[in-house]
Amino acid sequence: MSDTPHYPGGDRFAPTVEPPEEAVEVPTGADEFRRVHDMWVAGTEEPPWLAAATDEGAQELLPADVDPRVDTEEGSAVVDDYLERPDVPADELQIINMGPQHPSTHGVLRLHLELEGETIRRAKPIIGYLHTGMEKTAETLTYVQGATNVTRMDYLSPFHNELAFALVVEQLLGIEIPERAQAIRILMTELNRVASHLIWVATQGMDVGALSMMLYGWRERERILAFFEKVTGLRMNHNYIRVGGVAADLPDGWEDDVEDILEQVPKGIAEYEELLNENPIFLDRTVGVGVITPAECHAYGVTGPIARASGIEWDLRKAFPYSGIERYEFDVPTGQHGDVYDRYLVRMDEMKQSFRIVRQILDTIPPGDYRSDDRKVTPPPRLRIDQSMEALIHHFKLFTEGFKVPAGEAYQAVESPRGELGMYLVSNGGPKPWRLHVRTPSFAAVQALPAMLADSLIADVVATLASTDPVLGDVDR
Amino acid sequence: MSGLELLVVSGIKVVVAFAFLVLTVLVLVWVERRVVAFMQNRYGPNRAGPGGILQTLADGLKLFFKESMTPRKAQFLLYIAAPVLAVVTALLVFVVIPIGAPVTIGDTTYTLQVTDLDVGVLYILAISSLGVYAVALAGWSSGSKYPLLGSVRSAAQMISYEAALGLALVPVIMFSRTTSLAGIVEAQSGTFGGLLPAWNIVLLPSFVIFLIAGFAETNRAPFDLVEAEQEIVGGYHTEYSGMRFAFFFLAEYINMFNMAALTATFFLGGWNGPLFGPTWLRYVLPVIWFLIKSWVVVFLFIWARGTLPRIRYDQLMAFGWKRLIPVSLVWIMLAMVAIGVRRFGLPWA
């Protein structure tokens, strides 16, 4: 990629600056997660910061003598966008609400924009219009039912939600998953990544005005969804990856279907690249737009393709491999400029890398069981129920009471198409989670929008918003 | 021709032109939806009538029976005047476009255009500039923010592209030595060396600039940022509903066909084309040539909409001022030199 394009955010963007070391640390376990995310679970020991935060006058969580517009730490570039900007007189500004009912806010995101002409001076994302209380609901569902719940959060990558939930529960249970089940999980999640990125390229194209891209993206995604339907019975919200393995083995002839996907979908992707990669209008609309720097990525907790597009080589599949993904070869594509165009390139490359993984799974998938043989977690085979009283009892107990998970807490993250999707689970030894918190990538991406949108135009808002690929079900949960 | 006869003939022409335009829009909307659908792997409207051709009529009827709502903060007079202005200006442009060769019946010759103005080109530029008022007023009088942004955009777009549009026509006028549209078509009737038709498309830069400016002038993709629904919802017509919205819709498609017809007239030889057969066929064929050429340009409009992303507001203005206008000016200079050389020979010869 050449450096010729003019970057409006160039002064903010310094690719040479190394991000601060400690910011790169990601939580590896529950304690780390709590430290990083400042999270406190009711019933555990109250952390000292919480008392300070709820004191009188501390509601803004900011000492009075600190000017938030000034970078207090080296490398930290976060500006509090809620505060007034002294360089723009207030009567020059016009406030406009983009959303929650707007054609291109990807659901019900509301953006509170302050405009000077058509230039955005401040942007404030407002969420909560799709709040469904799923995290709370999880406390009333058994671990068997839990997957049905979490799969609805990020409805464009349901398999990743299910996988994260299954992994975190298995971590507390301490059970081993058969290799075949692991391979099936990776197969489904990687195909899901492609499906999700296809939707993204469709909406990204449409939001910059290339209407046909919308339909093209859908066309290719349809092939993958047809395969999902064949495997799981549903096109989305599959409830397929369950604690202990997957719900069913792959159907007969699945190899042919995957071969077909591997042959047809890359053709479609090549078509998009032909249509968009060098399209001057697409370049004009995306190069240098919605820039986010590595430091800002760290500060806002932005992960996934957005962080990789700004040059952070960070992929949980490499850093903390899960479900046996370390067995497969793939690269982590990164960009340099952190703009919309680099995010486009990164995601296009990621789809190809996912195909590489899928190809390897197709070649190397081991025979074996598709779920764990732990009888406390896995329901007995249907035939055994007719033969054995024990099996019938186990079956009955599993589907009425559910299985019990040892008390403790665990955090497990997977690399969803949008970034780090983590689930933090606290169990008190019962059959239901005592608390389930989901760390979603869309949430972090949306909170970074003010940084990306400052001093851009309305047309850039749509392009930038689309490039962060938020799923509002994932943001609000 | 007596005064009464002139009045009757003009009246008939006006009615025919109006009917022709409305009918064209009915077909045009359907064609666009079908063609874009075809480009996007969809079917498009195919239920109402054979192949769905009555879809536009059905949509029109639906809009006719819908309530026309007025926002509380709207400037009522301007708010209802804007759609009317849009349609009227769109219709007025078509008045000077010749759609066929003059027809001789008895000893009277009738031109196939409502009127042939000597200043036809200037008239078109003037009227199409007026059309922008409709958009600007609609956006401003709606008393709402997204329409206001749309109207500001339309004003900026008009300033940027009207100049390029006019400049692109200067070489055409210089070569045809007339500003009457009938005259311009007449000037393209010959051939170069008996082989190629002597159409103004040889003024290729002018043609390209005119076409680009035409896209911007009619607010069509990739310059449809006046109504960019992904950005400013519906732009200037966000607050319009029912028949008032239908008027804007009608105006947009009439303008699109007008622009195609003008491109055909200025650059593709208008109704010129091979003539053969009996006398009646010699009168019908020019109309067919004209329609074919216009629809080819219309297809270009639709094709662009199916392919190109939308350009950004500031980029659009930069493109107009920093690319199109300088290129037009240089091209006018070159055209002048070419005309001079053709008439007086090379300066050193």
Residue of A nearest to B39 (CA): A212
Residues 47-106, chain A, touching B (beta carbon < 8 A): 94, 96, 102-104
Angstrom distance (rounded) from CA B29 to CA B22: 11
Helices (H), B53-144: 55-65, 76-94, 120-141
Is pLDDT of A38 > 70? no
Nearest Cα residue to B40 out of A271, A195, A272, A216: A216
pLDDT in tens, B241-266: 888 888 888 888 999 999 999 998 88
Confidence of residue A34 (pLDDT cuts 50, 70, 90): low
Q: Answer whether B224 touches A (CB < 8 Å).
A: yes
SS in 3 state form for B281-292? HHHHHHHHHHHH
**pLDDT value, residue A391:** 87
Contact by Cβ (8 Å): A206, A213: yes
Q: Which two tokens stand for residue B153?
A: 């955009």
- Residue A358 has a pLDDT of 92
Average pLDDT across chain B, whole number: 85
pLDDT at B164: 87
A316 has a pLDDT exceeding 50: yes
CB of A265 within 8 A of CB of A197? no
CA distance B128 to chain A (A): 25
Looking at chain B, how many residues does it have? 349
Helices (H), A82-240: 134-137, 143-150, 158-173, 179-207, 211-232
Which residues are registered as beta bridge partners of A427? Answer: A408
Q: Which residues contact B86 (CB under 8 A, 6 or more apart)?
A: B131, B134, B135, B138, B247, B248, B251
Among A278, A458, A461, A464, the strongest candidate for a mutation testing the B interface, having the largest count of B CBs within 10 A, is A458
pLDDT 10s digits, A280-290: 888 888 888 88
Is it the case that residue B51 has pLDDT exceeding 80? yes
How many residues does the structure list for chain A?
Answer: 477
pLDDT of residue A47: 53
Residue from A302, A304, A361 nearest A333 by CA? A304
By mean pLDDT, which of A120-124, B85-89, B245-249, B255-259 is the weakest? Answer: A120-124
Given pLDDT bands bounded at 50, 70 and 90, which one contains residue A159? very high
On whether any CB of chain A is under 8 Å from the CB of B222, the answer is: yes
Confidence of residue B280 (pLDDT cuts 50, 70, 90): confident
* Predicted pLDDT at A48: 55
pLDDT for res A459:
82
Stretch A88-114: mean pLDDT, rounded?
Answer: 77
When mean pLDDT is compared across A22-36, A347-361, B18-32, B310-324, the lowest value belongs to: A22-36
Q: Which of B284, B298, B204 is nearest to B252 (CA)?
A: B298
pLDDT value, residue A30 = 57
Q: How much is the pLDDT for A196?
A: 92
> Which residue in A has a C-alpha nearest to residue B144's C-alpha?
A96
Confidence at A323, pLDDT banded by 50, 70, 90? confident
pLDDT at A113 over 50: yes
Cβ–Cβ contact A284 with B under 8 A = yes
Chain B stretch 247-306, residues whose beta carbon is closer than 8 A to a beta carbon of chain A: 305-306
Q: Do A209 and B313 touch (CB under 8 A)?
A: no
The yes-or-no verdict on residue B32 having pLDDT over 60 is yes
The whole-angstrom separation of Cα A133 and Cα B29 is 45
Residue A192 confidence (pLDDT): 92
pLDDT value of position B140: 86
When pLDDT is averaged across residues A162-172 and rounded to a whole number, the result is 91
What value does the mean pLDDT take over residues A417-425?
88
d(CA B300, CA A293): 41
Please judge whether B311 and A285 are an interchain contact, meaning their C-beta atoms are less than 8 angstroms apart.
yes
- Cα of A230 to nearest chain B Cα, Å: 24
Please give the residue that has the higher pLDDT: either A60 or B244.
B244
* pLDDT tens profile A197-250: 999 998 888 888 888 888 888 888 999 999 999 999 888 888 899 888 888 888
pLDDT tens-digit series, residues B1-11: 678 888 888 88
Mean pLDDT of B23-32: 90
For chain A, the average pLDDT equals 79
B109 DSSP β-pair partners: B104
The pLDDT of residue A29 is 56
For the record, the structure tokens of B252 come out as: 């947009």
**Least confident interval from A128-132, A145-149, A410-414, B25-29:** A128-132
Whether A90 shows a pLDDT value over 70: the answer reads: no
**pLDDT greater than 60 at residue A164:** yes
Contact across the interface for B40 and A214, Cβ inside 8 Å: yes
Region of poorest pLDDT, from A53-67, A191-205, B96-110, B121-135: A53-67
Are B221 and A209 inside 8 Å of each other by CB? yes
Confidence of residue A99 (pLDDT cuts 50, 70, 90): confident
User: Sign (positive/negative) of CA torsion A394, A400, A401, A405?
Assistant: positive
Write the burial class of residue B6 (CB in 10 Å: 0-12 exposed, 13-18 middle, 19+ buried).
exposed
Q: What average pLDDT does the segment B214-225 reach?
A: 81
Q: Which residues of B touch A219 (CB under 8 A)?
A: 41
Tell me the shortest Cα–Cα distance from A283 to chain B, in angstroms.
Answer: 10
In sequence order, the β-bridge partners of residue A245 are A242, A371
Would you state the structure tokens that stand for residue B211, as one six-digit string?
A: 């076409």
| Mean pLDDT, residues A174-179 taken together | 88
CA atoms of B102 and A63, how far apart (whole Å) = 84
Instruction: Indicate whether A51 pLDDT > 60.
Output: no
User: Cα–Cα distance between A280 and A285 in angstroms, integer?
Assistant: 9
